[in-house]
Chains A and B, each alone.
Chain A
Amino acid sequence: MHSGRTGPVIAACLAVVLGVIVLATFGPLLAPLDPAVQNLASVNAPPSGAHWLGTDALGRDILSRIIVGARTAFVGAFVIAATSFLFGNLLGLLAGYRGGWIDAILMRWVDMMWSIPTLLVLIVFAGIIGAQYWPSVAVLVVLTVPFDLRVVRGATLEQVPRPYVEAAKTLGVPGWRIMLLHIWPNVSASAIANAFLVFADALVVLSGLSFLGLGVPPGTPDWGLMLAENVPLLFVHPVASLAPGALIVLTATSMNLIGDWLQEQLATRGER
Chain B
Amino acid sequence: MSASAAVTANPQTMTSPLLSVKRLRIERRTAEGLQTLVSGVELTVQPGETIGIVGESGSGKSITTRAITGLLPPGLTATGEIRYAGRSLLGLRERDWRTVRGTELGLILQDPFTMLNPIMRCERILGESLRNGGTSWFARREEAIRRLAEVGIHDASVIDRYPFQLSGGMRQRVAIAAALARDPSLLIADEPSTALDVTTQREILALLRRIQVARGMSLILITHDLRVAFAMCDRIYVMYAGSLVEVAPADKLDAEPLHPYSNALLLSEPPVDRRVAELVAIPGSVPSPGEVANKCVFVPRCQWAQSACHQGSPLLREVMPGRLSACIRVDEIRGQMTALRRQSAEAVFRPADTTPRNQILQAHGIQKVFGGQRHPVVALDNVFLEVREGESVGLVGESGSGKTTLSRVLVGLEHATAGNVTVGGVNVADWRKLNRKDLATIRRTVQVVFQDPYSTLNPMRSIGWTLAEAITTHKPDTRQVDREVEGLLEAVGLPTSYAQRRPAALSGGMRQRVAIARALAARPRVLICDEPVSALDVSVQAQILNLLNRLRAEREIAYLFITHDLSIVRQVTERIYVMHRGRVVESGTTDDVLNHPQDPYTVRLLASAPTAERDWLDGTR
Binding site for B on A (CB under 8 A): 162-164, 166-173, 177, 181-182, 185-186, 269-272
CA distance A232 to B2 in the complex (A): 94
Question: Which residues B448-482 have CB closer than 8 A to chain A?
Answer: 448, 450-452, 455-461, 469-470, 473-474
Identify A270's interface contact among B447, B448, B456, B459, CB under 8 A.
B459
B-side contacts of A181, CB under 8 Å: 461, 469
Chain B residue, CB-CB nearest to A272:
B504
Question: A269 is contacted by which of B411, B443, B460, B474 (Cβ under 8 Å)?
Answer: B460
Q: Residue B413 at the A interface, CB < 8 A?
A: yes
Are A272 and B413 in contact, with the CB atoms below 8 A? no
B522 — nearest CB in chain A belongs to which residue? A171
Contact flag A270-B504 (CB < 8 Å), given A173-B473, A185-B460 = yes
Q: Which of B458, B460, B505 has the most CB of A within 10 A?
A: B458
Check A167/B515 contact, CB under 8 A, given A172-B474, A182-B458, A272-B502. Answer: yes
How many A-B residue contacts, CB cutoff 8 Å? 70
B500-536 residues with Cβ-Cβ distance < 8 A to A are 502-505, 515, 518-519, 521-522
A251 CA to B337 CA in the complex, in Å?
71
Complex alpha-carbon distance, A271 and B521, angstroms: 26
Which residues on B sit within 8 Å (CB–CB) of A272?
A: 502, 504-505
Known: A171-B522, A172-B439. Contact between A186 and B458, CB under 8 A? Answer: yes
Chain B residue nearest to A183 (CB atoms) is: B458
Chain B residues near A269: list those with CB within 8 A. 460
At the interface, yes or no: B120 with Cβ under 8 Å from chain A? no
Known: A173-B473, A270-B504. A167 touches B518 (CB 8 A): yes
* Contact yes or no, A172 B473, CB < 8 A: yes
Number of interface residues of B (CB under 8 A): 32
A186-B459, A270-B460 known; A170+B470 contact, CB < 8 A: no
Residues of A within 8 A of B461 (CB): 181-182, 185
Partner of B451, one of A163, A172, A173, A185: A163
- What residues of B have a CB within 8 angstroms of the CB of A162 in the complex? 455
Given A163-B456, A185-B461, A272-B505, also A172-B440 (CB < 8 A): yes
B469 to chain A, nearest CB (A): 7
Assess the B443–A171 pair: CB atoms within 8 A.
Answer: yes
Q: How far is the CA of A186 from the CA of B469 in the complex (A)?
A: 17
Q: Do the beta carbons of A163 and B413 come within 8 Å of each other?
A: no
Residues of B within 8 A of A170 (CB): 411-413, 443, 446-448
Q: In whole Å, how far is B390's beta carbon from the nearest beta carbon of chain A?
A: 21
Is the Cβ of B448 less than 8 Å from the Cβ of A271?
no
B460 and A166 form a contact (CB under 8 A) = no
Question: How far is B461's CA from A181's CA once the two chains are assembled, in angstroms?
Answer: 9
Residues of B within 8 A of A171 (CB): 443, 447, 469-470, 473-474, 518, 521-522
Q: Give Cα A177–Cα B452 distance, bound, in whole angstroms.
A: 23
Find out whether the CB atom of B440 lies under 8 angstroms from the CB atom of A163.
Answer: no
By beta carbon, the residue of chain A nearest B448 is A170
Chain A residues, CB < 8 A from B505: 272
A contact residues around B440 at 8 Å (CB): 172
Knowing A163-B450, A270-B504 touch, does A169 contact B456 (C-beta < 8 A)?
no
In the complex, chain B residues whose CB is within 8 Å of the CB of A270: 459-460, 502-504
A167 engages B460 (CB within 8 Å): no
17 contacts between A and B (CB under 8 A): A163-B450, A164-B455, A164-B456, A166-B413, A167-B450, A167-B519, A168-B469, A170-B412, A170-B447, A171-B469, A171-B473, A172-B443, A172-B473, A181-B461, A185-B458, A270-B502, A272-B505
What residues on B are CB-neighbors of A172 within 8 Å? 439-440, 443, 473-474, 522
Q: In the complex, what distance in Å separates the CA atom of A185 from the CA atom of B465?
A: 13
Q: In the complex, what residues of A have CB within 8 A of residue B447's CB?
A: 170-171
Chain B residues with CB below 8 A from A271, complex form: 459, 504
- Bound form: Cα–Cα A168–B460 in Å: 14
Given contacts A171-B469, A172-B439, A269-B460, 7 further A-B contacts (CB under 8 A): A162-B455, A163-B456, A168-B469, A171-B470, A171-B521, A173-B469, A271-B459
Closest Cβ neighbor of B408 among chain A residues? A166
Inter-chain contacts of B457 with A (CB < 8 A): 164
A166 to B411, CA, bound (A): 10
